[in-house]
């Protein structure tokens, strides 16, 4: 392993990545880890605690290489509701569930117990496989 990553930034539109890595949300939350690139090369990541890597970010190696991060597809539950979506989001947030929020929907990593609660509150649960990009939170650590 000859590459070490200690910086993450938004991927510059003018840059072309030499490599890509696909990571689940759980892996994109980890500050220190070893990962395998699409080529099979292994690199070490060492970021400041609290840094969350997002799909589309650039991991910069000590040699200046830019590695494009792809968000892995994951099992998720997407919730829609007519008039009580805010109430459902409140109850999920009260349980400290990470949520991705869209126009008329919220999404979390699939959990059958939470799905049952949502249905009990009048929501509709759709299961699927997609990249999970939850909100960073009011105190979330942001990168450059």
CATH number assigned to the domain with residue range 73-131, chosen from the 4 options 3.30.450.20, 3.10.150.10, 3.30.70.790, 3.20.20.60: 3.30.70.790
- Domain pair 4-71 / 73-131, same fold: no
pLDDT tens per residue, range 84-110: 999 999 999 999 999 999 999 999 999
The better pLDDT of the pair 136, 13 is held by 136
What would the two tokens of residue 76 be? 């998720």
122: left (phi over 0), alpha (psi -120 to 50) or beta: left
pLDDT tens per residue, range 56-79: 998 888 888 888 999 999 999 999
Q: At CB < 8 A and 24+ separation, what contacts does 84-93 make? A: 84/121, 84/122, 84/123, 85/123, 87/121, 88/118, 88/121, 88/122, 88/123, 91/117, 91/121, 92/118
CATH class of 4-71: mainly beta
pLDDT band of 113, cuts 50, 70, 90: very high
Question: Using an 8 Å Cβ cutoff, are 45 and 21 in contact?
Answer: no
Distance in angstroms (rounded) separating the CA atoms of residues 26 and 106: 18
| pLDDT at residue 13, as a whole number | 57
Domain residue ranges in the chain = 4-71, 73-131
pLDDT tens per residue, range 40-56: 999 999 888 888 899 99
């Amino acid at each position: 392993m000859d590459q070490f990553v200690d910086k993450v930034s938004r991927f510059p539109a003018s840059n072309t990545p030499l490599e890509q890595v696909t990571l689940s949300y759980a892996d994109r939350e980890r500050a220190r880890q070893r990962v395998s690139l699409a080529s099979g090369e292994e690199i070490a990541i060492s970021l400041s605690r609290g840094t969350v890597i997002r799909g589309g970010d650039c991991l910069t190696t000590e040699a200046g290489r830019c590695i494009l991060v792809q968000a892995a597809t994951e099992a998720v539950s997407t919730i829609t509701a007519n008039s009580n979506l805010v109430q459902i989001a409140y109850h999920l947030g009260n349980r400290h569930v990470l949520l991705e929020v869209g126009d008329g929907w919220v999404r979390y990593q699939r959990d059958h117990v939470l799905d049952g609660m949502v249905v009990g509150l009048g929501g509709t649960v759709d299961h699927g496989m997609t990249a999970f990009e939850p909100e960073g939170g009011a105190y979330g650590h942001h990168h450059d």
